[in-house]
Amino acid sequence: MKHFLDLHKTDAADLRHMIDKARAMKTARHDRPKGSPDDDQPLAGRMVALIFEKPSTRTRVSFDVGVRQMGGQTMVLSGKEMQLGHGETIADTARVLSRYVDLIMIRTFEEATLLEMAEHATVPVINGLTNRTHPCQIMADVMTYEEHRGSIAGRKVVWAGDGNNVCASFIHAAGQFGFDLTFTGPETLDPEQKFIDFARARGSDIKIERDPSRAVVGADLVVTDTWVSMHDPESAKERRHNQLRGYQVNEALMAHAKPDALFMHCLPAHRNDEATSAVMDGPHSVIFDEAENRLHAQKAILRWCLGV
Ligand code: CP
Ligand code: NVA
């Protein structure tokens, strides 16, 4: 069973193949209408369930459109409206859904929910974000970097702010795609050591630098994300803003990076908190390419999972 659960659990050669496939499929579509089918229809006759226990704009729409472009069908399910939200176990839900659909994508809170779904499903399961990781996003981000600047191998990525789920998958990607990553943020919001250990064991130089201006020196790519994630309690907001204010990505900070450095943010953003609009809409920014590439990258992930 080819589940797509996390970047460190998927073979690096397979990840590379998916990025290359995604780029080829994107090129093949040129600027066709979004709703038009691809020339080949590898998902014809396939049904995909998209389960959301948290809000989503990009993940929901890009998976839905991607499946349809490849000839498949989708059903979007809200966790709250399913029996899952009324005490039916994840294991039973996985077994039941596997009788109806060919693939399950789930966005959930606890990683344990994703893992239990994968353990009991007899169809592939894709991680559409958990509290801990967001692998589909980083596949789109690697694709986006390479579209603009060529191979990401050996490059320096700087993550500024909260060492959250998106940061975790970036660190996994450093190990799998062979780039270096410096985290800059307060100690209390450091990424888990486990993620860092994985990337270091694969030969990546993973650094922690508390001074954001020093961190971004020589950066090829500067990345940030919201200071308060969907799973963080609202009560954490004020404290996090105080802790993270000094890590805002603004033009002054970007001036320390390489002149041709890119800026990324997975979105949704809180403009002028974690990044200023001047940076988000400025010459370094590729944020809307990242959003678009969710579509193409996930189409390649779906094909890999289904072996089509
Ligand atoms: N980046 C991302 O996953 O966005 P959504 O929450 O809108 O899906
Ligand atoms: N870190 C954010 C990412 C949203 C796509 C969150 O989990 O809310």
Tell me, using a 6 A CB cutoff, whether residue 59 lines ligand 1.
Answer: yes
Q: Which residue has the higher pLDDT, 87 or 13?
A: 13
User: Atom of ligand 2 at shortest distance to CA of 137?
Assistant: 5
**How far is ligand 2, taken at its centre, from the CA of residue 226, in Å?**
7
Output the pLDDT for position 30.
87
Q: What is the pLDDT of residues 35-47, one digit of tens each?
A: 999 999 999 999 9
Q: How far is CA 227 from the centre of its chain?
A: 16
Of the residues 54, 65, 144, 267, which should be mutated to test ligand 1's pocket, given the most ligand atoms within 8 Å of the CB? Answer: 267
Options 136, 167, 266, 305, the catalytic residue:
266
Tell me, letter by letter, the H, E, C secondary structure of the chain.
Answer: CCCECCHHHCCHHHHHHHHHHHHHHHHHHCCCCCCCCCCCCCCCCCEEEEEECCCCCHHHHHHHHHHHHCCCEEEEEEHHHCHHHHCCCHHHHHHHHHHHCCEEEEECCCHHHHHHHHHHCCCCEEECCCCCCCHHHHHHHHHHHHHHHCCCCCCEEEEECCCCHHHHHHHHHHHHHCCEEEEECCHHHCCCHHHHHHHHHCCCCEEECCCHHHHCCCCCEEEECCCCCCCCCHHHHHHHHHHHHHHCECHHHHCCCCCCCEEEECCCCCECCCECHHHHCCCCECHHHHHHHHHHHHHHHHHHHHCC
Q: Given this model, what pLDDT does residue 53 score?
A: 96
Q: Identify the pLDDT of residue 99.
A: 98
What does the pLDDT read at residue 85? 78
Q: Say if residue 263's pLDDT is above 90.
A: yes
Cis peptide before 268 (omega within 30 of 0): yes
User: Is 225 part of the annotated catalytic residue set?
Assistant: yes
Ligand 2: residue whose CA is nearest its atom 6:
229
Task: State if pTM tops 0.95.
Answer: yes
- Distance in Å, CA 268 to ligand 1 centroid: 6
Q: How many angstroms does the Cα of residue 29 sit away from the middle of ligand 1?
A: 23
What is the rounded distance in angstroms from the CA atom of residue 282 to the CA atom of residue 188?
30
Q: Which residues contact 102 (CB under 8 A, 6 or more apart)?
A: 46, 47, 48, 72, 123, 306
The model's confidence at residue 84, banded by pLDDT at 50, 70 and 90, is: confident
Q: Calculate mean pLDDT across residues 221-249.
A: 96
158 CA → ligand 1 middle, Å: 21
CA of 224 to the centre of ligand 2 (A): 11
Q: Which distant-in-sequence residues (6+ apart) come within 8 Å of 239 by Cβ?
A: none
Distance (Å) of CA 187 to CA 193, 196, 206, 263, 299: 12, 14, 15, 23, 37
Say which of 69, 137, 243, 248 is annotated catalytic. 137
CB of 57 sitting under 6 A from ligand 1: yes
**pLDDT for the residue 42:** 98
Rounded to an integer, the average pLDDT of 194-207 is 98
Residues lining ligand 2, CB < 6 A? 129, 164-166, 225-226, 229-230, 266
- Which of 20-24, 85-89, 102-106, 189-193 comes out lowest in average pLDDT? 85-89
- Please say if 134 is a catalytic residue: yes
Residue 17 reports pLDDT greater than 90: yes
> What is the C-alpha separation between 96 and 101, in angstroms, rounded?
9
Per-residue pLDDT tens for 151-193?
A: 999 999 999 999 999 999 999 999 999 999 999 999 999 999 9
- The rounded radius of gyration (Å) of the Cα atoms in the chain is 19
Q: Is residue 224 predicted with pLDDT exceeding 90?
A: yes
Place 86 in a pLDDT band, splitting at 50, 70 and 90.
confident
**Per-residue confidence band for 265, with pLDDT thresholds at 50, 70 and 90:** very high
Distance, CA of 258 to CA of 219 (rounded, Å): 6
